[in-house]
């Protein structure tokens, strides 16, 4: 299906593994299509009860590959083929390393999270002249205390896994070597309930969240549209490609004072 996404079944569990470690599992169009196909399969196959999203290498996911883009949004899944999907089956994120930008937003799209002790989470989009566009703008303040989420988005700071666990973002905290095993165990534990009951539970959860989500997506769309042709976004992209700090105008002197 894809050189960058591995898909396998383990009984009722669909294991989906991002496999582009040389690029920190940054999402491209091929990966988006592969995730869309994988989660369509989860939705449509009654033998599958739950999915685990894992990653190969030291990074979980660094978000969108800014050089190539992540491809178009898919009909059923939206960005990355999963971000706006209305699943009726649970998704467990097995986070064995840093998850930043869209990678963190993939985690925020999951229902349960297992994190390695040395993993960390970040939303650094403002340092590239952007805002979190894959749900982070409103899901991060929903899943974390609002002031913690706002600090992450304003400062591009890191949320270490242990604190994420203490704040309730992660369900389990474990050693890196055990992340996948613990995630698979947690996934299997979700299979004790009746399939239709679980499906209706998710239908209810989506219904409750719908109004807030629509407002969040509208706010995200407005912000991204405004920034699309901005000088800040152009400079942010250039800085990323050239591997340097961005030079904002007119407040670059302030940035140098703060960052040294």
User: Could you confirm whether 200 is annotated as catalytic?
Assistant: no
Measured between alpha carbons, how far is 22 from 20 in angstroms, rounded to an integer?
A: 6
User: Taking each helix axis from N to C terminus, what angle separates 136-143 and 102-109, rounded to the nearest 10 degrees?
Assistant: 60
Which entry of 105, 160, 200, 214 is annotated as an active-site residue?
Answer: 105
- Pick the closest to residue 64 from 102, 31, 99, 100 (CA basis): 102
Tell me, rounded to whole angstroms, the distance of Cα 242 from its chain centroid.
25
Per DSSP, the residues of 23-60 read GTT-B-HHHHHHHHHHHHHHHH-TT--EEEEEESSS-S
Which entry of 8, 22, 56, 125 is annotated as an active-site residue?
Answer: 125
- Pick the closest to residue 202 from 134, 112, 80 (CA basis): 112
Measured between alpha carbons, how far is 62 from 23 in angstroms, rounded to an integer?
A: 8
Measured between alpha carbons, how far is 40 from 87 in angstroms, rounded to an integer?
A: 9
Q: Dihedral through CA 34, CA 40, CA 44, CA 50, nearest 10?
A: 80
Facing residues of 74 across strands?
78
Burial state string for 66-82 with b = 16 or more CB within 10 A and e = fewer than 16: beeebbebbebbbbbbb
Q: Would you give the DSSP letter of residue 81?
A: G
User: Could you confirm whether 22 is annotated as catalytic?
Assistant: no
Q: Which residues are catalytic?
A: 105, 125
């Amino acid at each position: 299906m894809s050189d960058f996404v591995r898909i396998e079944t383990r009984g009722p569990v669909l294991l989906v593994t991002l496999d582009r470690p040389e690029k920190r599992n940054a999402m491209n169009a091929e990966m988006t299509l592969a995730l869309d196909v994988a989660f369509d399969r989860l939705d449509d196959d009654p033998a599958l009860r739950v999915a685990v999203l894992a990653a190969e290498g030291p990074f979980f996911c660094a978000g969108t590959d800014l050089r190539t883009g992540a491809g178009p949004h898919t009909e059923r899944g939206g960005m990355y083929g999963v971000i706006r999907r209305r699943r009726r089956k649970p998704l467990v994120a097995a986070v064995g390393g840093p998850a930043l930008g869209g990678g963190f937003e993939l985690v925020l799209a999951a229902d349960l999270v297992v994190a390695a002790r040395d993993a960390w989470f970040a939303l650094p989009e403002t340092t590239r002249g952007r805002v979190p566009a894959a749900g982070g703008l409103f899901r991060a303040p929903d899943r974390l205390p609002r002031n913690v989420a706002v600090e992450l988005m304003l400062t591009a700071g890191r949320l270490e896994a242990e604190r994420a666990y203490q704040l309730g973002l992660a369900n389990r905290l474990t050693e890196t070597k055990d992340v996948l095993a613990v995630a698979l165990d947690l996934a299997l534990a979700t299979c004790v309930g009746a399939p239709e009951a679980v499906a209706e539970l998710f239908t209810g959860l989506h219904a409750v969240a719908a109004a807030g989500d629509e407002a969040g997506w509208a706010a995200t769309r407005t912000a991204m549209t405004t920034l699309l042709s901005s000088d800040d976004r152009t400079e942010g992209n250039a800085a990323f490609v050239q591997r340097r700090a961005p030079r904002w105008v007119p407040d670059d002197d302030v940035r140098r004072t703060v960052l040294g």
